[in-house]
Amino acid sequence: MEQSEFLNQVMPIKDKLFRMAKRLLVSREEAEDATQEVLLKLWRNNAKMGNYKSVEAFAMTMTKNFCLDRLKSKQAGNLSLVHSNYGDDKTSLQTQVEAIDSVDWVKRIMEDLPEQQKMVLQLRDVEEYDFDEIGEMLDMKPTAVRVTLSRARKTVRERLMQKHSYGIA
C-alpha cells in the first residue's frame, strides 16, 4: 500500500479510533498515545493492509485490543473508563447540569457492565456501527451482538429507573 492509499483509507477513521481509545482509557493524552501507536502499527504493516476486507474494522479491533492490553498492564493501575460530554452553549445552565448528571450516571452504570456489553454499547450507540461491523470487530455473530446490546441497554435502563424512582414502589 502506497502512502497516498494509506492516507486515504486510514486517516479518515483516525477520529473514530481516538473516540474508541478515549472511551476505554482515562485521559485524552492516553487516548492520543493509543491512537498514535495504532496508526504507527498500521503504517508498519501497510503491505498487509490489502488482505483485510475492512481496514476500518481491523483498525478498530487493533485499537480495542491495544487499549485493553494497556488497561491490563501493571503500569495502568489507575486507568478507568471516561466519557466526554459535549455541551451546547444554547441550552440553559439547569439543562446542562441535568445532562452532565445523566451522563455521569450512565458512565457509572456502564463501568459495572461486563466488558463485552460495554464495547457493544460504545460501538453501536456512540460510534453508530451496524451489527455486522460490530460482530466482525468483536468476533461475534450479529445476533449475539443484538442480544448483548439488548442486555446492556436493559441493565442501564433498570439502574437509571432505580436511581430516579427511589422510594417509590
CATH number at residue 145: 1.10.10.10
81: left (phi over 0), alpha (psi -120 to 50) or beta: beta
Lowest mean pLDDT among 69-78, 120-129, 149-158: 69-78
Residues 147 and 131 in one domain: yes
| Among 51, 66, 82, residue at a domain's last position | 82
Contact of 109 with 159, CB cutoff 8 Å? yes
169 pLDDT band, cuts 50/70/90, is: very low
Distance CA 157, CA 153 (A): 6
How many structural domains does the chain have?
2
Report DSSP letters for the chain, one per residue: --HHHHHHHHGGGHHHHHHHHHHHSSSHHHHHHHHHHHHHHHHHTGGGGGG-S-HHHHHHHHHHHHHHHHHHSGGGTT----------TTS-HHHHHHHHHHHHHHHHHHHHS-HHHHHHHIIIIIS---HHHHHHHHT--HHHHHHHHHHHHHHHHHHHHHHHTTT--
Residues 51 and 105 in one domain: no
Which whole number is the average pLDDT over 126-153? 90
| Among 82, 98, 129, residue at a domain's last position | 82
Residues 75 and 96 in one domain: no
pLDDT digits (tens, 9 = 90+) for 96-114: 777 777 778 878 888 888 9
Q: pLDDT at residue 79 above 50?
A: no
Which whole number is the average pLDDT over 85-92? 52
Residues 78 and 95 in one domain: no
Residues 61 and 111 in one domain: no
Provide the pLDDT for residue 43.
Answer: 87
Q: pLDDT at residue 88 above 50?
A: no
List the CATH number of the domain containing 26. Answer: 1.10.1740.10
Residues 74 and 136 in one domain: no
Residues 5 and 75 in one domain: yes
Q: pLDDT at residue 148 above 90?
A: yes
Provide the pLDDT for residue 166.
Answer: 57
**Cell, residue 37:** 501507536
What's the mean per-residue pLDDT of the chain? 80
What is the dihedral sign for C-alpha 105, 22, 68, 127? positive
Which whole number is the average pLDDT over 143-153? 93
Q: pLDDT at residue 25 above 90?
A: no
% residues pLDDT > 90 (the chain):
18
Residues 4 and 28 in one domain: yes
Residues 99 and 161 in one domain: yes
CB atoms within 10 A of CB 61: 18
Residues 70 and 2 in one domain: yes
Provide the pLDDT for residue 74.
Answer: 45
Residues 3 and 32 in one domain: yes
Residue 110 is part of which domain span? 90-169
Residues 94 and 159 in one domain: yes
